[in-house]
């Protein structure tokens, strides 16, 4: 070993390579706290929140308070619009915090006010500053309600539009790691640990040039695919049998569903981190069983040598598989069956005039001559005054035109009024199909 290599600091505590982690909202601040407690020093960290008390508890060296007079230092009240407004009003703060960082990694929880509202704005500012932007986001538990899930889904779509990709953790999956006796505090601690694992794995991929590299373009393409569910897992082992033990621990990870995720995956990314004593034979012993379980998936492997991992081995796996909604209905399919009518298509037929079939001539040809018996039938019906012929005519059904829905203002987020299976917010004549003359 030469003199330069002896004085070189370990890679884990080496000068930053342009990666900066932003913890946004309460969930993001808790993950930053977890990273500090684990001694992670692979990137600069900054906390962003509208709650000054939460920022005071965060151990991040840089703290950014986004406050408005309307908030009165009480936070966003689980309203993403308030979080977005606070971010838009403090754009200079966010831009200054991004600085000249090459990569911005946003860690947040979606569904509330701060994380859902601030994260897309921060991602946009970071992207406009010239940085590549990735995000790690937690989605709410099912028990948190429809409104929070809907807000999380909308925030996720907005965040994906402003980043290179989003690595998601659905909190509902944590139930595979807990039992009936696990407390709420311990449950969220496990969630923070999983998010921290994802952050550390991404930081190592982004900030270290490994012996075998995974191109950033491949990682971004995997995370940006809207029809994929992203699952990630980590494992670590030490000692002489580390290469065999780490595979067993990884495959036993509850988020991989006993290896079923690998069998269904389309793309699998594997990142190995070991010390200078890591051998090629060990890498092969790790990858062979994974290749066997991945089946039809495209496998991307990267390897990094870190002095701090002497006698240790760590693996981060990210798998992308087709989402359930995409599998039920392929591209161009509505998922409602071949024989099901498309109501929007029918409404468009009513709106559009058949200009292609209209005659260019203004001459209207005379009506065709009727046979004598038909003329007599029509005359007798008119004299009798019977309305049967009028009643027998086909009635046109009233439909709804594809018009833009008008916002309900401050009632936009209120729950619909449902009574006996009917939405009372819909006008009566529409619910009962009463035609308007």
pLDDT the model gives residue 321: 77
Looking at the domain covering 212-326, what would its CATH class be?
Answer: alpha beta
Residue-wise pLDDT tens digits, 152-167: 999 999 998 899 888 8
Cα 425 to Cα 141: distance, rounded to the nearest angstrom: 29
Domain boundaries, the chain: 14-207, 212-326
Look at residues 159, 102, 161, 164 and name the one whose alpha carbon lies nearest to residue 133.
Answer: 164
Cα 303 to Cα 204: distance, rounded to the nearest angstrom: 10
pLDDT the model gives residue 420: 74
- Plot region of 109 (φ>0 → left; ψ -120 to 50 → alpha; else → beta): beta
Neighbours of 348 (CB within 10 A): 12
pLDDT the model gives residue 356: 42
**Phi and psi, residue 299, nearest 5°:** -105, 125
The answer to whether the predicted template modeling score (pTM) of the entire model surpasses 0.75 is no
Q: Cα–Cα–Cα angle for 416, 417, 422, nearest 5°? A: 105
The secondary structure of 86-110 as a DSSP string is HHHHTHHHHHHHHTT-SEEEEEEES
pLDDT the model gives residue 30: 93
- Domain 14-207: CATH architecture, name and number where available: 3-Layer(aba) Sandwich (3.40)
pLDDT the model gives residue 336: 39
pLDDT the model gives residue 184: 92
Cα 349 to Cα 283: distance, rounded to the nearest angstrom: 61
Neighbours of 234 (CB within 10 A): 22
Same fold, 14-207 and 212-326: yes
Is the CB of residue 201 less than 8 Å from the CB of residue 233? no
Cα dihedral 320/323/329/334 (nearest 10): -120
Cα 405 to Cα 61: distance, rounded to the nearest angstrom: 46
pLDDT the model gives residue 363: 45
The secondary structure of 225-250 as a DSSP string is -TTEEEEEEEEEEESTTHHHHHHHHH
Three-state SS for 299? Answer: strand
**Residues 6 or more apart from 282 whose CB is under 8 A from it?**
242, 243, 274, 313
Q: Mind listing the pLDDT tens digit of every residue in the chain (437 residues)?
A: 444 434 333 434 333 348 899 999 999 999 999 998 888 877 889 999 988 888 899 888 899 998 776 566 556 667 888 889 889 989 999 999 998 888 899 999 999 888 899 999 999 999 999 998 989 999 999 898 889 999 999 999 999 889 988 888 888 888 888 888 999 999 999 988 888 888 888 888 776 666 677 777 777 777 776 656 778 888 899 988 999 999 999 988 878 877 888 888 888 989 899 999 999 999 999 999 999 998 888 888 888 888 888 899 999 898 887 765 555 444 444 343 333 333 333 333 333 334 444 444 444 455 566 677 776 776 666 555 444 544 444 555 555 555 555 556 556 666 777 777 777 777 787 777 777 75
N residues, the chain: 437
Strand-pair category, 298-305 with 312-322: unpaired
Look at residues 151, 309, 165, 148 and name the one whose alpha carbon lies nearest to residue 228.
Answer: 165
Neighbours of 350 (CB within 10 A): 12
Three-state SS for 273? Answer: strand
pLDDT the model gives residue 355: 41
Strand-pair category, 298-305 with 265-274: parallel
């Amino acid at each position: 070993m030469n003199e330069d290599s002896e004085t070189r600091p370990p890679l884990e505590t080496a000068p930053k390579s342009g990666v900066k982690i932003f913890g946004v909202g309460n969930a993001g601040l808790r993950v930053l706290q977890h990273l500090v407690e684990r001694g992670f020093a692979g990137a600069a960290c900054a906390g962003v929140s509208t709650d000054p008390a939460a920022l005071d508890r965060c151990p991040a060296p840089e703290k950014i308070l986004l406050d408005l007079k309307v908030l009165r230092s009480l936070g966003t009240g689980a309203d993403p619009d308030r979080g977005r407004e606070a971010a838009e009003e403090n754009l200079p703060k966010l831009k200054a915090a991004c600085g000249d960082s090459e990569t911005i990694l946003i860690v947040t929880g979606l569904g509330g006010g701060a994380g859902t509202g601030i994260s897309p704005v921060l991602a946009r500012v970071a992207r406009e500053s010239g940085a590549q932007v990735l995000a790690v986001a937690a989605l709410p538990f099912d028990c948190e309600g429809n409104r929070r899930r809907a807000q999380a889904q909308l925030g996720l779509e907005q965040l994906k539009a402003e980043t290179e990709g989003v690595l998601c953790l659905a909190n509902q999956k944590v139930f595979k790691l807990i039992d009936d006796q696990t407390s709420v505090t311990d449950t969220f601690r496990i969630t923070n640990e999983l998010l921290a694992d994802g952050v550390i794995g991404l930081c190592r991929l982004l900030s270290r040039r490994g012996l075998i590299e995974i191109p950033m373009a491949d990682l971004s393409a995997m995370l940006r695919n809207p029809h994929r569910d992203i699952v990630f897992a980590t494992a670590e082992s030490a000692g002489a049998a580390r290469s065999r033990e780490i595979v067993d621990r990884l495959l036993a990870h509850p988020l991989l569903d006993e290896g079923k995720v690998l069998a269904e995956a389309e793309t699998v990314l594997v990142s190995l981190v070991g010390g200078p004593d890591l051998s090629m034979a060990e890498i092969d012993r790790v990858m062979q069983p994974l290749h066997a379980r991945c089946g039809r998936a495209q496998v991307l492997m990267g390897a990094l040598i870190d002095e701090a991992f002497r006698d240790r081995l760590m693996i981060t796996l990210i798998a992308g598989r087709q989402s359930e909604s995409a599998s039920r209905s392929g591209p161009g399919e509505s998922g409602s069956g071949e024989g099901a009518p498309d109501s929007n298509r029918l409404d468009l037929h009513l709106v559009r005039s058949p200009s292609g079939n209209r005659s260019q001539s203004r001459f209207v040809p005379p009506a065709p001559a009727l046979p004598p018996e038909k003329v007599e039938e029509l005359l007798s019906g008119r004299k009798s005054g019977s309305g049967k012929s009028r009643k027998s005519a086909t009635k046109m059904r009233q439909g709804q035109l594809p018009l833009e829905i008008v916002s309900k203002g401050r009632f936009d987020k209120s729950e619909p009024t449902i009574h006996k299976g009917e939405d009372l917010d819909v006008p009566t004549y529409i619910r009962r199909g009463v035609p308007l003359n």
